[in-house]
Amino acid sequence: MSSTFTIAIDGPAGAGKGTLARRLADHYRLNLLDTGLTYRAVAHALLQVGLPLDNVSAAETAARQVDLARLDRAVLSAHAVGEAASKVAVFPTVRRILVEKQRDFAKAPPGAVLDGRDIGTVVCPDADIKLYVTASAEVRAKRRLAEIESIGGTADFAEILADIERRDERDMGRADSPLKPAADAHLLDTSEMAIEAAFLAAMAVIDDALAKRNKA
Ligand code: C5P
């Protein structure tokens, strides 16, 4: 039996997987990696020096330089960086470089929660637990709007929804590692579920797997 425990969480932007990943990593005392930040770091490096996002060799260089211990969420969480990340994420060579770093992270004891788009399908196909967290595009857009308004900002619902749909299309439609649930993933639709309920549902699945593992 392996000495690490891996929880893979995939799903579209805004479904609540980041919050869920953090709660689960805290609860089970596992390392945590938001793999979206690695693609964001590549996009941010190109944006900063004004290089086009389709410059593959510059994106590969930036990907090699990504240091998982120095991902600055405050800088990388900007909306424009997320959009740009989904453009550099289509390049297979960039993905390969980042996936290797993500796999190394997952291997470190006691194990990790990783969230992204291809964790259960590509990065950690042997993960102990795979969750696919989703919600309707409308619900995700409403949540995003509420988040913006809660910090005093304003935004247009229709624009946010269009953005979300465009990002879904890019992430689900790309040839390499498209966003899709792994065959053995547990589906969690958070459209009408509070994050606490999603956390409890995920815990039930994980505790069950841990109990079986301890008996084996
Ligand atoms: O999750 P987040 O919104 O930060 O991800 C930004 C973009 O990075 C996604 O839209 C997706 O294109 C890409 N991504 C990916 N594979 C992952 C994580 C993120 O392709 N494992």
Tens of pLDDT along the chain (216 residues)?
468 999 999 999 999 999 999 999 999 999 999 999 999 999 999 999 999 999 999 999 999 999 999 999 999 999 899 999 999 999 999 999 999 999 999 999 999 999 999 999 999 999 999 999 999 999 999 999 998 899 999 999 999 999 999 999 999 999 999 999 999 999 999 999 988 999 999 999 999 999 988 887
Return the domain boundaries, the chain: 5-211
Q: Cα separation of 75 and 176, whole Å?
A: 27
At 190, list the tokens.
């958070």
- In CATH, what number does 5-211 get? 3.40.50.300
Ligand 1, from 17, 83, 86, 174: best to mutate by most atoms within 8 Å of Cβ?
Answer: 86
Tell me how far the alpha carbon of residue 90 lies from the centroid of ligand 1, in angstroms. 10
Q: Cα separation of 136 and 189, whole Å?
A: 8
Tell me how far the alpha carbon of residue 12 lies from the centroid of ligand 1, in angstroms. 8
What pTM, to 2 d.p., does this model score? 0.96
The DSSP code sequence of 96-164 is HHHHHHHHHHHHSTTEEEEEESSIIIII-TT-SEEEEEE--HHHHHHHHHHHHHHTT----HHHHHHHH
Q: Cα separation of 105 and 109, whole Å?
A: 9
Give the number of the atom of ligand 1 that is nearest the alpha carbon of residue 102: 21
Tell me how far the alpha carbon of residue 77 lies from the centroid of ligand 1, in angstroms. 11
- The protein residue with its alpha carbon nearest to ligand 1, atom 11, reads 86
